Amino acid sequence: MATVHEIQAERRALEGKGASRRLRRADKVPAVLYGAKQAPMSIQIDHKLALLYSQQEWFYASILHMQMDGVSQKVLLRDIQRHAFKLRVTHLDFQRVSETEKLRLKVPLHFINQEISPAGKMAGVVITHEVNEVEIYSLPKDIPAFLKVDLSQLEVGQIVHLSSIKLADGVSIPSLKLGKEHDLAVVLARHARVEVEEVVAADADADAAGAVPAKGAAPAKGAAPAKGAAPAKGAAPAKGAAPAKKK
């Protein structure tokens, strides 16, 4: 049985920036509810509850049951705004859910069995998760809380792409219909020493490019002498240069 996630909200009569500031000072979060071919509604949520909800994964990727005026209605969180540096939620947007209309929303990826995979058991292998959430398209009843990425067969050098994720019936990933270039790498497994060698090689190239010859050292073969420097012993003077004065 699917878990029901309830949130508490209240109607609010006052609108505008001034009213929103007063709400925040009263420890309330202004919010708006829209969609399902109904007029938008201004609502508010207690800040302590909003902060608690915002720390839960389900708040962002599940159908929420909003309790308001004794009535429950299904909604989705569509936007959350936070204070620039304080631990505060400043505004929320919710969309009403229609059971007959498909929705787009992002759901988290859960990576399983990585530690028992061939790559996970091998020393010196780095496994990176390039993507941690993905946008899906489905009816509300088919929305998963998360998508599993089974890494039990992951080998060194292997790349797990978006198209490898198993989806339930009625669920799709819209970006995959846009072409192969949208089939993103989700997981990479490679030897750690490869990364180290690449960094060392890049540093060596940078050092060589910026190196300055030691004082008194002859310039490299074919290189022009530094400006104002005397030509090497036995070398012909540069074209157009005046001959040296005899002593």
Measured distance CA(210)–CA(54) in Å, rounded: 50
The encoded tokens of residue 38 equal 């109904």
**3-state SS assignment for residue 205:** helix
List, in order, residues 6 or more apart from 136 with CB less than 8 Å away.
104, 105, 106, 107, 143, 144, 147, 167, 171, 172, 173, 174
Contact between 31 and 95 under an 8 Å Cβ cutoff? The reply is no
| Alpha helix (H) residue ranges in the chain | 17-25, 47-54, 58-61, 118-121, 192-209
Q: b/e map of 185-194 (b: 16 or more CB within 10 Å)? A: ebbbbbbeee
Task: Please give the single-letter amino acid code of residue 102.
Answer: K
Measured distance CA(47)–CA(20) in Å, rounded: 13
Strand-pair category, 71-82 with 89-96: antiparallel
The encoded tokens of residue 129 equal 């998760």
C-alpha distances in angstroms, 194 versus 94, 127, 163? 46, 13, 27
Measured distance CA(174)–CA(188) in Å, rounded: 23
pLDDT in tens, the chain (247 residues): 568 899 999 998 777 777 788 888 999 999 999 998 899 999 999 999 999 999 999 999 899 999 999 999 999 999 999 999 999 999 999 999 999 999 999 999 999 999 999 999 999 999 999 999 999 999 999 999 899 999 999 999 999 999 999 999 999 999 999 999 999 999 999 998 755 455 555 666 666 666 555 555 555 555 555 555 555 555 555 555 555 555 4
Q: Which of 96, 76, 92 is nearest to 36 (CA)?
A: 96
The reply to whether the predicted model has a pTM over 0.85 is no
For position 162, what pLDDT does the model report?
96
Measured distance CA(120)–CA(114) in Å, rounded: 6
User: What is the separation, in whole angstroms, between the first and last Cα of the chain?
Assistant: 104
Contact between 217 and 210 under an 8 Å Cβ cutoff? The reply is no
